[in-house]
Amino acid sequence: MTKIVYFNASEITRDYYKNNPLPIKAETVFMEKSPADLTAEELKTVSDADVISVFVHAVDVGARVLSQFPNLKLIALRSTGYNNVDLSYCREHHIEVVNVPGYGDSTVAEFTFGLLIDVTRKISRSFRAVQEAHVDTDHYLGFDLKGRTIGIIGTGAIGRYVAKIAKSFDMTILAYDPYPNPKFAEEYGFKYVDLPEMFSTADIISLHCPLTKENYHLLDEAAFAQMKKGVVIINTARGELIDTEALFKALSNGKVYGAGLDVLEYESALIHDDLYLSALNVRESDSLLRSLINLRMLQLKNVIITPHVAFNSIDAVHRILKTADDNIIAFLNGKTVNSVLNK
Q: What is the pLDDT of residue 275?
A: 41
Of the ranges 10-19, 191-200, 272-281, the best mean pLDDT one:
191-200
CA distance 301 to 319: 35
For residue 207, give the amino acid letter.
Answer: L
Asked which of 7-21, 219-233, 262-276 is least confident by mean pLDDT, the reply is 262-276
What confidence tens digit (pLDDT) does each residue in 302-341 have? 999 998 899 989 999 999 999 999 999 999 999 999 999 9
Distance (Å) of CA 183 to CA 102, 186, 191? 19, 5, 11
Q: Rounded mean pLDDT of 217-233? A: 98
Q: What is the pLDDT of residue 290?
A: 66
Contact 341, 90 (CB under 8 A): yes
Q: What is the pLDDT of residue 77?
A: 95
Contact 180, 192 (CB under 8 A): yes
In the chain, what is the greatest distance between 2 CA atoms, to the nearest angstrom?
67
Contact 205, 241 (CB under 8 A): no
What confidence tens digit (pLDDT) does each residue in 264-290 have? 987 754 333 444 444 444 454 555 566
Q: What is the pLDDT of residue 279?
A: 43
The yes-or-no answer on residue 308 being catalytic is yes
CATH number for the region 2-103+313-332 comes to: 3.40.50.720
pLDDT of 241 above 90: yes
Pairing outcome for strands 256-261 and 303-305 = parallel
Q: What is the pLDDT of residue 292?
A: 77
pLDDT of 245 above 80: yes
Average pLDDT, the chain: 90
Q: Which helix (H) or strand (E) holds 233?
A: strand 231-235
Q: What is the pLDDT of residue 293?
A: 80
CA distance 29 to 259: 41
Q: How many CA atoms lie within 13 A of 265 on its CB side?
A: 31
Residue 69: pLDDT band with limits 50, 70, 90? very high
What confidence tens digit (pLDDT) does each residue in 137-183 have? 878 899 999 999 999 999 999 999 999 999 999 999 999 999 999 99
Q: What is the pLDDT of residue 133?
A: 87
Cα angle 182-186-188, degrees, rounded to a multiple of 5: 120
Q: What is the pLDDT of residue 288?
A: 57
Q: What is the pLDDT of residue 282?
A: 47
What confidence tens digit (pLDDT) does each residue in 87-130 have? 999 999 999 999 998 788 999 999 999 999 999 999 998 988 88
Q: What is the pLDDT of residue 343?
A: 66
CA distance 60 to 195: 33
Region(s) of the chain under CATH 3.40.50.720: 2-103+313-332, 105-305
Distance (Å) of CA 268 to CA 32, 37, 86, 254, 264? 16, 13, 17, 29, 9
CA distance 173 to 321: 33
CA dihedral for 99, 105, 106, 107, sign (positive or negative): positive
Which one has a higher pLDDT value, 287 or 8? 8
Distance (Å) of CA 263 to CA 54, 59, 227, 277? 19, 14, 21, 16
Question: Per-residue DSSP letters for 3-70?
Answer: EEEE-S--HHHHHHHHHS--SS-EEEEE-SS-GGG--HHHHHHHTT-SEEEEETT---BSHHHHTT-T
Which one has a higher pLDDT value, 318 or 82? 318
Residue 295: pLDDT band with limits 50, 70, 90? confident
Contact 66, 41 (CB under 8 A): no
Residue 298: pLDDT band with limits 50, 70, 90? confident
pLDDT of 254 above 70: yes
pLDDT of 231 above 50: yes
Q: What is the pLDDT of residue 57?
A: 65
Q: Which of 78, 265, 267, 290 is catalytic?
A: 267
Residue 217: pLDDT band with limits 50, 70, 90? very high
Length of the chain equals 343
Of the ranges 124-133, 194-203, 204-213, 270-279, the best mean pLDDT one:
194-203
Q: Which of 238, 240, 245, 265 is catalytic?
A: 238
Contact 2, 332 (CB under 8 A): yes
Q: Rounded mean pLDDT of 287-299? A: 75
CA distance 156 to 288: 32
**Domain 105-305 coded CATH 3.40.50.300:** no
Q: How many CA atoms lie within 13 A of 284 on its CB side?
A: 6
